[in-house]
Structure 1
């Protein structure tokens, strides 16, 4: 998967070298700009929406937090009683997540720096992937979902950037800049088209729009 590998390496470089401090602040309780505050609010709403698809009591369940970032989702899952495998392509973000995790939850969360589709991560009851697939093309997302679905017993809840006029304009504008001079660009997706690349049933859960944060939640069941 050459396209997937190139994008994955680009995402790793962005979050591990360019945007680590920005991302750390955005996902904290520190004061940020109005624009980033809308993004923070949108991410909080999306996290809650995704978690609503899982049982409130997750004792005995194994959950993959695919693209865990600074660890907010992993913490919420652990508070529900889940055993969480939290993986992110960025070792820097993994370090932040480890520092932020409440000491009482450390036995419930196993952090890994690496690829979310690595079979060595094991098998799970549920998989959550919040905004970690937004930079990939539909065929690559389909392959990742297929890979993870083979090791997920119940459902995969993930997000994509929807095909809205605003995001399509943003995506088109991003193409005008040399690839080496810009951060990874979100690729907007149509859920119906994406479903053709994902084996099993793909359902729209909901869309969150908060200022510059626009994300659509989908649920995959085999």
Structure 2
């Protein structure tokens, strides 16, 4: 039990401090080096693919063939739990598709950033 509590404390300390700072430096809106820009672009592609897979899993048998078809293809509101949501990039993308998203994270700074992104998106 103590090991588990110690591990949770270390995770919280990292993701609410140095981890959040590192995320902001790489995935935030600030200008970045070519290498970090490549990382940012790869992360955006990975998120788009994860979003597509989830939407396809929620679809009926007539799967969409284009991104435009996929955008309107989710059958009604679906509930999604984004555990470890970080700053909410995937949560926000899924909410834009009409899904009901519950986003949780161990780090208050990450949750605050996710809430701010949701607020800014309207």
TM-score for the superposition, normalised by structure 1:
0.42
Unpaired runs of 5+ in structure 1?
A: 106-222
Matches within 5 A, 1:52-201: 52-55=52-55, 56-57=73-74, 59-102=76-119
1:42-53 to 2 correspondences below 5 Å:
42-53=42-53
Equivalenced residues, count? 105
Structure with more helix by fraction: 2
Look up the SS of the partner of 1:86 in the other structure. Answer: strand
**How many Å apart are 1:104 and its aligned residue?**
6.0
Q: In 1, Cα distance between the equivalents of 2:44 and 2:22?
A: 17
Contact 1:24 1:70 in 2 (8 A): no
**Equivalent residue of 2:54, what SS?**
coil
Counterpart contact for 1:58–1:80, Cα < 8 Å: no
How far did residue 66 of structure 1 move? 1.2
1: distance between equivalents of 2:14 and 2:38?
A: 21
1:37 match: 37
Q: CA RMSD in A?
A: 2.2
Distance 1:39 1:100, change over 3 A: same
Give 5+ residue unaligned stretches, structure 2: 56-72
Distance 1:33 1:3, change over 3 A: farther
Residues 78 and 84 in structure 1, CA contact (< 8 A), matched pair in contact too: yes
TM-score (norm 2): 0.71
After superposition, the Cα gap between the structure-2 partners of 1:31 and 1:58, relative to the gap in structure 1 and judged at 3 Å, is farther
Query: 1:31 Cα deviation (Å)?
Result: 0.8
SS in 2 for 1:78: helix
Q: SS at 2:101's partner residue?
A: strand
